[in-house]
Chains A and B, each alone.
Chain A
Amino acid sequence: MTAVLEIEGLTKAFTLHHLGNRIGAFSDITFSVDAGEFVLLKGANGAGKSTLLRTLYRSYLPQAGQVRFQSAHGEIDLARAAEVDIAHLRRTEIGFVTQFLTARPRVSAEAIVAEPLRLSGVAPERALEQAREALELFGVKPDLWQAYPTTFSGGEQQKVNLARALILPQKLLLLDEPTASLDAKARAALVTRLAELKSGGAAMIGVFHHPGDVEHLIDRIVDLTPDHFVEKDHTDVAV
């Protein structure tokens, strides 16, 4: 197996100017993820799990370290890459999946889900068809497909968000508690879709409040508890 992502010595701290101090999130993290591999991040609240995911996505800027990503266009260090390249990779190879939807006013559920496909060049009609299939898979009722998700319940918004985030196959998926507050049907749909993408070669790094939801997908566990940074084979530990 080849590593899709090699994280080396990654360090993140937040400088809060109005308090005149610095808050450490994690330091000197090193591990790698192969194609088709699923890595679970473990650690107490505040251990830096979500912060690590956001740093890998470059919503956060790291202080030190490298994040070598094997893109279809060659290797690039995500910690330092030009913003325009990061933006391009986010559209094509790196996905971030959260429980929160950023809905835009006056855009229908199916249009939100179809957007990544349209932007990647799929014909609008075909993109809408696929979007409807994805919404159906996650259990969003057809009478909501043309409605605006800004007014949906939290659970329904989350389903729209998942359908959108997972509609394109990605090389690297960062999963930030995507199962939180999902009903059983949607959770099952999510796990099915993740398994599908994983067997298609997607590398995944995830944070799950209830790792049991994705137990059979986990290959390895990385524990981020400070002074306790360890990598384990899934076979060694109970989830």
Chain B
Amino acid sequence: MTLTLDAPRIFQTKPLLSVDNVSKSYGAVHALRDVSAIAYPGEVLGIVGESGSGKSTLLRMMNLEEIPDKGRYTLDLPDVSGNLFDLDRFARRMLCATRIGIVYQNPHLGLLMKHSSSGNVAERLLVAGERSFATLRAKATTALEASEFPLERLDAPPIELSGGMQQRVQLAKAIALEPALLLLDEPTTGLDVSVQALVLDTLKRLQQDRQITMVIVSHDLGVIRTLADRVMVMRRGEVVEAGLADQIFQDPQHAYTQQLVHAKL
């Protein structure tokens, strides 16, 4: 039995995020082919797949860093309408700064490594128009605290911090403006196990307390299993299977998903 978009419904919830039939090619290489995804308010959508499957490309598109050859992207938010891929550069930047947060695997992509940690978070607030120094400092501190960053290190630049701490600064920056959507690209890859557990726990807590919708990309099935409500499996630029997280892990339908799940330690 395959499940389709016209599956029976009794609740009226509408998706916060909808990506429809997105395709992108780099020359002869199809990075994404007719990919669609939805995420409901407060839901955690996990995207798994091997390197080169297109999962990170898709996430960068959700952050409007990359524009596809074709496809639609909508967010069901007040004052946001139409296909977001059609927005001009300025509108895109504003939308991302105020409504979307992102955490990259590589902290160098998300942070200025030699500025203070609190300054990194405040920069996000500045982009959104905040100008008072006292407010900037207070809001940055609150966000760092919510990310469980040790406050005695507020002024330390990320370059002096451990990997786990750098991810917390990224997370604080991402949530400083209380975004509706939080995008996470391999947020715990490369961290040691105990630090990974702390970051996962922080994410889960944030998601539950603030009802933030999250899309998390990881090749670590354990991470996806811990966080995601629903899972999408990608391979060679296409979605091969999507379902409830427990269904994907316990009753994978597609040959590739079975391979992936059976390979898990």
Q: Which residues of A contact B (CB under 8 A)?
A: 14-18, 54, 58-64, 71, 73-77, 79-88, 104-107, 115, 118-119
Contact = CB atoms under 8 A, between A and B. Distances in A.
Contacts of A61: 1, 3, 243, 247, 251, 253
Given A61-B251, A62-B1, A17 B244 contact: no
B144 to A, nearest CB: 19
A59 B10 contact: no
Given A63-B1, A81-B9, A85-B9, 9 more contacts: A58-B244, A61-B243, A64-B1, A73-B11, A76-B9, A82-B8, A83-B244, A86-B244, A105-B197
Contacts of A60: 247, 250-251
B198 A58 contact: no
A83 B243 contact: yes
A104 B253 contact: no
B251 A106 contact: no
Contacts of B9: 76, 81-82, 84-85
Nearest to B254: A17
A81 B8 contact: yes
A111 to B, nearest CB: 10
B11 A80 contact: no
B255 interface: yes
B204 A74 contact: no
B243 to A, nearest CB: 6
Contacts of B28: none
Contacts of B162: none
A58 B1 CA distance: 12
Contacts of A54: 250-251
A106 B10 contact: no
A227 B3 CA distance: 30
B178 interface: no
B258 A18 contact: yes
A75 B258 CA distance: 33
B208 A119 contact: yes
